[in-house]
Structures are given as C-alpha cells and as structure tokens.
Structure 1
Amino acid sequence: MTAIDWRDGPVECVGGYGRQLRPKGAKETGKWAGTVAHKARRLCATCYERQRELTCEPQPYRMVWRWQMLADAPVLHQEYEAIADLMDVLREMGCVLAARPARRRVVHGATPFMELDYRIRDCTPAERTVLAPPQPDTPAGGTDVATVVTA
C-alpha cells in the first residue's frame, strides 16, 4: 500500500462511512476541521477496530470429549466416529477446532468410552457463515463418493 499524500488535505476513510481523515498527530483545526484521526491502512479508528474484530481469531481453549464407544468395532474407526460427532457439536456451539484432536484414553468394560483431548475456539463471523449447517436440499461440503485403492 502506498503512503497517503496529505498535501491536498483530508482523505476519505476506506471503511465505507464517508469520514474524512487527518494525519495522526494533526489537530482538528484549520484545513483538518471536521475530520477524524487516521489510525492505519487508510482507516479511522472505528473502522479499523471493526475490521480487526472481523478478522481476528479468538483465543483457543482446551477441552475433553468423552464418547460412548460401540461394541465390536475397531478402535481407530471409532476414533473418527467420535471426531465426526464432535464436529457436529462444535458447529452447534459456534466453535471450530484449533488443533487436531488427540486420543487421550480408551476405557473398555461394560460401558466402554473414549476420551479425546482437543483445543477449540469461537468461530469468526466469516467461518460462521461458511460452516452454517447445510440446508435440507443442499449437499454438504464433501462428496458421497468413496474411492477404493488396492495395493
């Protein structure tokens, strides 16, 4: 981005609200009357903060997912079933994974379960739009085609 040429006076904020900008250190007098201070990237402070909030990723936090295991199914397959169920729950919560889930432990017995250790964070507005639950007539993100590869 090129430097702003302030010689001709105020420039318009590119945030879309029509505010006129003045250099950061300039007082709101003379040719700068009725203007707001330039923050960064040709934006006033209000538009800069609004844009920053839309693009910043929230801080992740750590959680444990306990999943009731199925009888007589391979543990590796069940791990992916657990992750798929976790994705559904995270989507409803408005969260996304911040790292790949790790298998924490598997407990066998009368009621076997698996625990996954994972980190999540809140969705950004853009992610929330993309990850919205599919409508009934709309196909999901992937395809329903399985490719068989033989060695």
Structure 2
Amino acid sequence: MPTAKPISKKPASKTPAKPAHKVYNTPLPKKLGIAEEMQVALIAAPDGFEESLGELPPGVIFSTSVGSSTGLALCFVRSLSDLAATLDLLVLRLPRQTHFWIIYPKRAGRYKVDFNENHVRDSGLAAGFVDYKVCSVDNDWSALKFSRRKT
C-alpha cells in the first residue's frame, strides 16, 4: 500500500502573486491621443463626456464640429445610420492629416445596438480610411482610431 507524502511546511513566498490580468492605468486623454494645444472635435458626445476625460493637457480646446484646425475628432455613433453619416462628414471636412476615433457602444454596455467593431471597421475601410488602434473608453463605449490612407 502506498504511503502518503507529508505536506510541505515551507514558508510562503515573500513575493506577492501576480494579478491574473494586467491592469492599465493610462489616463483616457493620453489613450485617445489628446495633446497640448490641440483642438478636439466632439461629435455627438454624450452629456458629461468632456468632464469624464479628467485632467487634460494644457490648451486643449473642444468644438462640436470638424474644421481646418481640428487636430483630433472623437465621433460617437449609436446606429449604423449615425456611422454612415459621420463617415460622410469626415470624408468631406476632415483635414488630411487629422486622425479620428469612431466611438461606439460595447455589446455588454448599457446601450443596445445591432452593430459591432467589425461593422465600424468595414464601414471606415469602405470610406477610404484605415484603422490602426482600438481603445476601451469606459464600461459602455469602445473606439477604433482611423486615419486617411496614405497615397
């Protein structure tokens, strides 16, 4: 009959256990690429979004439209028709070198929608843009960052 092995009486490790997932504490303005002295267009942003960004770099100016001095656009969409209209606007008015985020509801968030990240990406590509970054804005919103294709 096999004998049981004794339980080890070794002291616990002095180094703390690593968390199961990596925790990121990057401030949202930095994740979105909001820089000093930048004019940021907030398109269809929910009430209180500007305040939810927290501390901003010096000199940031918000507007509700896209123009020649726009350095970054944050565009909220809640439906496929919003997405199409926003992309049409950006094709016409966005300065060539300006990047933009399409911010859309997460499936698991409080907003119920019938589209997802793939729809956003495919629509942006079809409009002549390329996506190159993804960001979780908060518990309800995700975002894809786009720029114009280089020619």
Fold shared per TM-score above 0.5? no
Q: Which has the larger radius of gyration?
A: 1
